[in-house]
Amino acid sequence: MEFRKLGKTDLNLSAITYGSFAIGGTMWAGSVKKDAQEAILASIDNGITTLDTAPFYGFGFSEELIGETIKDLDRSKIQLLTKFGMVWDGSNKEKGDFMWNQEHEGKTYPIYKYASKANVIKEVEESLQRLKTDYIDLLQLHWPDSTTPIEETMEALQRLIEQGKILAAGVSNYTAQQMLEAQKSISLASNQVPYSMLKRGIESKVIPTAIENEIGIIAYSPLERGLLSGKFFNGESLKSEDHRNGYFGQFNLEKVKSFLESIEPIAKDKQVSLSQLVLRWTTLQFGISIVLAGARNKEQAVSNAKAIEVIISSDEMQFINTELAKLSLNQ
């Protein structure tokens, strides 16, 4: 495994990090606890030391799963990344930004983006309890909240750093301008943003701003939630309640299929999967610190971890990038 320093922090994170959105079950048509725990342990056994989660993933279930699974392991060798600011108790209707109504275990919950100082303090205590730990390596704001001044949120994070409850503070889904605004109040460790072969918008402003200010970039959805694995073009179906039924609609699926067919010979020649080739490509992109990869079972977890071993030559990289440009997939 490769390890990379995150921004100006002392955190050294695994280049491929375990992403736990799917095992939470929310939006993913459920989760199998045994499979999820095996995926977490297989990730660790194969060199992944960094686990990324959030309270929203399963309404606390993802954090609880991770906490329970690693409770007997050496905590000093594992980095826990979690988030705050997506609330579902309905108490912030006049404060936070409404996102959507989310179905969960037969009930409908209004989801709000809310990042007030009081809420940050409240949520971190809940996350510490669920994760069964006394500190969080990186605490990240999940989404920008227009109803709370950025300065207020960052001051709360700085206080948590001083108290030793978190080691570093980051954000997610921030624009370049929002990153600069946050930097006025805190030394920002990172910005977690969507980035993939099909979604490269951060290359224009976010990445240059991050590099200039020594802020790490954490890429999420590098496989576009499984689309770039190619398996959905080979007959694999999704459950009706799986959010990807709608999510995949944002892409020109015929173009995606053609692109994957064009690079598949490279994967076959290396005896690796398309997923592994795509993940490795993502880790090699300029300005990307670490890449999140979700796994719902042991097999997926092992595959993700071993993607770091894939060697892509300069000629192969040029071919992949040429195919991307030719098919106008960059967004």
Q: Which residues are catalytic?
A: 57
Contact 22, 296 (CB under 8 A): yes
Give 3-7 contacts, CB < 8 A, sequence gap 24+.
3/49, 4/216, 4/289, 4/290, 6/138, 6/168, 6/189, 6/190, 6/216, 6/218, 6/289, 6/290, 7/168, 7/187, 7/188, 7/189, 7/190, 7/214, 7/215, 7/216, 7/289
Which amino acid would we find at residue 113?
Answer: K
Q: How far does the chain reach from its first CA to its final CA, in angstroms?
A: 30
Q: What are phi and psi of 46, to 5 degrees?
A: -105, 25
Helix pair 314-326, 253-270: axis angle to 10 deg: 170
Helix, coil or strand: residue 51? strand
List the alpha helices (DSSP H) in 46-137: 61-70, 117-131
> Which residues are bridge partners to 66 per DSSP?
none
DSSP 8-state secondary structure symbol assigned to residue 114: -
Which spans in 113-252 are helix H?
117-131, 150-163, 176-183, 206-212, 244-247
